[in-house]
Amino acid sequence: MRKKVSIVGSGNVGATAAHWIASKELADVVLIDIIEGVPQGKGLDLLEAMPIEKRDSYIIGTNDYADTANSDIVVITAGIPRKPGMSRDDLLNTNYKIMADVVGKVVKNSPNCILIIVSNPLDAMAQAAYKLSGFPRERVIGMAGVLDSARFRTFMADELKVSVENVTAFVLGGHGDTMVPLPRYSTVAGIPITELIAPDRLAQIVQRTRDGGAEIVKYLKTGSAYYAPSSATTEMVEAILKDKKKILPCAAYLDGEYGIKGLYVGVPVKLGAKGIEQIIQIKLTPEEQAALNKSADAVKELCGVIGV
């Protein structure tokens, strides 16, 4: 029996995630939205592409949470998108209300699923979903680090004119202006990036990574990034469904790890069939730890606003 992934929200991120997941034949996909017709239309369009792609994934679009019953993974992308001039914090209260509604319906229909949260502001929404669902922390994961690392890798590969496959990148912390890219843990074919890129140029690349989402919003004017965020989500889905034990940077609920307690913060985790199977702790310099603490404080502030 094929695995089942439900995606809440059939906007650009949700629909594109459905596309990646179905095209990789990872699972059958349910696309759900409150808008009538949109998930049905996108779902049917994607289903009709499967014979061409030679994939047997089955996709449906729906407005009824009953169709999501017994999902293995539920990806939540629902929420209002970020607009130019709008900070992630501006999204907070509106998207919290949406999250509360969605999580209640998801838990009722798929009590054993793993939740992947993509809605912004990411870390605070993951925290909200964790508290609202009552699930153990292993089964509520925020998608941020995979995307931020991909942006970092893109810019480093472009700078050095090497294959993106050669580049590994490390990003910790909250998804936003306070994220903590770690150059000394980032490599090209095993060579530390600090050996290959001058410090001042590397600092510029780190800053561009932090501003990655805003840069795309500025270009699009009426929307935000969706190809890379949905691809990042799909990598997490694949790691879980195939029980790959893959180490990826994700937003996870920390209970003392890295000296942080009771908060969702981006850290390297091992993803497998049970969700987060291990939180990987690495040694940080005092400067890196201070930057991570600052990032955690920013998340804590947001969580305080919505009382989670």
Q: Over the chain (308 residues), what is each successive 10-residue block's mean pLDDT? A: 95 97 98 97 98 97 98 94 68 89 98 96 94 98 94 96 95 84 92 95 94 93 92 98 97 96 96 98 93 92 90
Write out the E strands in 64-200: 73-76, 114-117, 140-142, 167-168, 171-172, 180-181, 187-188, 191-192
Residues with a catalytic annotation lie at 175
250-283 pLDDT, tens per residue? 999 999 999 999 999 999 999 999 999 999 999 9
CATH topology of domain 145-306: L-2-Hydroxyisocaproate Dehydrogenase; Chain A, domain 2 (3.90.110)
Through-space distance between the first and last CA atoms of the chain, rounded to whole angstroms: 37
The domain limits of the chain are 4-142, 145-306
To the nearest 10°, the Cα dihedral for 243, 246, 250, 256? 90
Q: Is 22 helix (H, G, I), strand (E, B) or coil?
A: helix
Angstrom distance (rounded) from CA 149 to CA 141: 16
218-243 pLDDT, tens per residue? 999 888 899 999 999 999 999 999 99
Q: pTM for this structure?
A: 0.95
The angle that helices 286-306 and 92-109 make with each other, rounded to 10 degrees, is 80
CATH topology of domain 4-142: Rossmann fold (3.40.50)
